[in-house]
Amino acid sequence: MDKNTCEDFIKGTSYFSGERVDPPELHEELPPSPNIISEPVALPSFDQNTNLLQIINRRRSKRNFENKPISLVQLSKLCWGTQGETGRVGQTILRSVASAGNRHPLNTYILINRVEELLPGLYFYNNSNSLGPLRLGELGGELAEACLGQKMIESCSAVFIWTAATARTTSVYRARGYRYIFLDAGHIGAQLQLLCVDLGLGSCNIGAFWDDKVAKFLGIEHKHEIPIYIAVVGWPK
């Protein structure tokens, strides 16, 4: 990727004063639903009680992890706190994280390395707070290779992988929607780190990966859905 590509993206997605901004023409071409291989795992409920300012002050990225599992309740809090449903207004679903126009283009996949009560493997998070198994097995090495050999992918307890079904946002905001997709990813990544601090866990967000290899790992098609952001979670050393 060269400098001109980046500058073209900024220019091509800019709004300039005096120009006409046409109303959206809604046309969504969404990715197919993930192939859930067995009954989804319902995640447990939990209490909500925290001191936000203290958590913000303690936030740090952690890259070295203990070889021990996190609990299913901890995972439930992380999932709900980054994508979970928090209410409804009519037919509109409200979630725990901000999204431009409430479009919520991001999907959450989770690689389980070590989580109590869960088999290792790749899962898909449903915002009703359950996990659908996609592939079972020790898959950390495969994903680490797709992330330029970053070993913390294997040593952590769980890996959050966020993809974007781009049409959910671009169908409304056209090319500028791509900016909003990346902003949405930033919201989710920041909330995950704060949630980890609250739970005594460590986390590190990752942007360096082979896009095609991560897409293949997830079993998604680039035409409909693209990898955006990754984060590792576990007990810090």
What pLDDT sits at residue 20? 65
What pLDDT sits at residue 222? 80
**Rounded Cα–Cα distance for residues 232 and 118 (Å):** 17
Q: What is the pLDDT of residues 84-109, one digit of tens each?
A: 999 999 989 999 999 999 999 999 99
Where b means 16+ CB within 10 Å and e means fewer, 135-145 reads beeebbebbbb
Is the pTM value of this prediction over 0.85? Answer: yes
**Rounded Cα–Cα distance for residues 202 and 184 (Å):** 22
What pLDDT sits at residue 29? 62
What pLDDT sits at residue 148? 95
Query: Which residue ranges form the domains of the chain, and what is each CATH number?
Result: 54-234 (3.40.109.10)
Q: What is the pLDDT of residues 36-53, one digit of tens each?
A: 888 888 888 777 777 889
What pLDDT sits at residue 90? 92
Compute CA 204 distance to the chain's CA centroid, rounded to the nearest angstrom: 13
Write out residues in the chain with pLDDT < 50, as ranges. Answer: none
Q: Pick from 187, 189, 121: which is nearest to 158 by CA?
A: 121
**What residues does 226 pair with on adjacent strands?**
164
Strands, E assignment, the chain? 41-42, 85-89, 92-95, 106-112, 121-126, 130-136, 158-164, 202-206, 226-234
